[in-house]
Amino acid sequence: MRAVGVTTTGGPEVLRVIDREVRAAGPDEVRIAVRAAAVNPTDILLRERGVDGVEPPWVPGMDAAGVVESVGANVCRLAVGDSVMAALSPRRPEGGAQAELVVVPATSVVPLPDGASFAEAATLPMNGLTALLGLELLGLGAGSTIAVSGGAGLLASYAIPLATLRGLRVVADASRQDEALVTGFGADLVLPRGDGFPAAVREAVPGGVDGFFDTALLGRSAFPAICDGGAMAVVRGWDGSEPDRRIEIHEVWVATVFERTDWLLELRELATQGRLALRVAHVYPPERAAEAQRLMEAGGLRGRAIIAF
């Protein structure tokens, strides 16, 4: 099979199309002929840092959409020929989603949302699971207020409607040109993005919000927005420093929930209903994976770049 390979750590120029063998699906696994795989910021981290304990080339990608090519023993919910989407880790020895064939646990695979293309569906699994996990870790009850940074980004575009469906009041940030977009995701209040966002949140919500979903990596600078004893969900880890004012930090590690079939089915249903917007920015062949990563690194992307096989 062909796959996007990170041949060594470095810049986008280290990406190549490689040939790899693919094992058969084992018990409780499916093998998927990938039609589309999303490009995420985690792919850039993999390219820059590699995978400890695994020899290159490394295959990036955490989201795949395609057709079930074969199934292992004990798999009854899925069948050959089904159009599906899946979440998987690129840190495993056999690599991630940007490959013509991938083998994944059946629990990480669900049918495509009705009416969604392969490219659209490939934007959903990992970021959708991240949004659900962050909200679960924050543990906010209906009627609570949550702030979401990076409001126009893909992760926030899932976190905002999922929060509103759970009865939360959502405050998000956006540039002037993205205000209508973020309001459309379901945000109750949209404030200007930038360094002044946390202070603006505090002014709009006296006492501070109950929780903060930090998709824009604001870190400690987000603390002024949060009430004493509140909580913040962070992606890509925390530096271990002690937070202020009894604020609780929740690190969101999405790989821990890749096999939450119930969550994947919830995401599928909400996308089918049109409650989650599946946004594709650009589609590239694997030979142009470097260009796709450069686009991601440039920032300001609305949706995801997709590698199509």
Chain centroid, CA 230 distance in Å: 24
Of all helices (H) and strands (E), which one includes residue 306?
Answer: strand 304-308
Q: Is the pLDDT of residue 300 over 90?
A: no
Parallel, antiparallel or unpaired: strands 248-252 and 83-87: unpaired
For residue 39, what are its two tokens? 């490009």
Judge if pTM exceeds 0.95: yes
State the pLDDT at residue 52: 95
Give the phi and the psi of residue 15 in degrees, each rounded to 5.
-80, 135
| Topology (CATH level 3) of domain 127-254 | Rossmann fold (3.40.50)
State the pLDDT at residue 180: 97
State the pLDDT at residue 301: 83
State the pLDDT at residue 42: 95
For residue 25, what are its two tokens? 């699906």
| CA distances for 42 relative to 7, 39, 48, 134, 293, angstroms | 16, 8, 10, 17, 10
- 17 forms beta bridges with 4
Could you give the CA distance from residue 76 to residue 72 in angstroms, rounded to a whole number? 9
For residue 149, what are its two tokens? 């940074």
CA torsion 89-92-98-104 (nearest 10°) is: -70
The tens digit of pLDDT for each residue in 75-104 reads: 999 999 999 999 999 999 999 999 999 999
Residue in 32, 252, 60 with CA at minimum distance from that of residue 139: 252
The amino acid sitting at 186 is G
The tens digit of pLDDT for each residue in 212-257 reads: 999 999 999 999 999 999 999 999 999 999 999 999 999 999 999 9
- Which class in CATH covers the domain with range 2-124+278-308? alpha beta
Could you give the CA distance from residue 136 to residue 142 in angstroms, rounded to a whole number? 12
The tens digit of pLDDT for each residue in 132-176 reads: 999 999 999 999 999 999 999 999 999 999 999 999 999 999 999
* Residue 191, C-beta contacts closer than 8 angstroms, at least 6 positions apart: 171, 172, 173, 174, 197, 200, 201, 204
Judge whether 133 and 256 are in contact, CB under 8 Å. yes
Residue tagged 């969900």 (tokens)? 233
Average pLDDT score over residue span 273-289 = 97
Parallel, antiparallel or unpaired: strands 29-39 and 63-71: antiparallel
Average pLDDT score over residue span 20-47 = 97
State the pLDDT at residue 159: 98
Q: What sections of the chain are H helices per DSSP?
A: 41-49, 118-121, 125-138, 154-165, 179-185, 197-204, 261-272, 289-298
The tens digit of pLDDT for each residue in 202-214 reads: 999 999 999 999 9
State the pLDDT at residue 239: 92
Domain ranges in the chain?
2-124+278-308, 127-254
| CA distances for 294 relative to 29, 44, 53, 305, angstroms | 33, 9, 27, 10
Mean pLDDT of the chain: 97
* Helix 261-272 × helix 154-165 angle, to 10°: 90
Q: Is the pLDDT of residue 299 over 90?
A: no
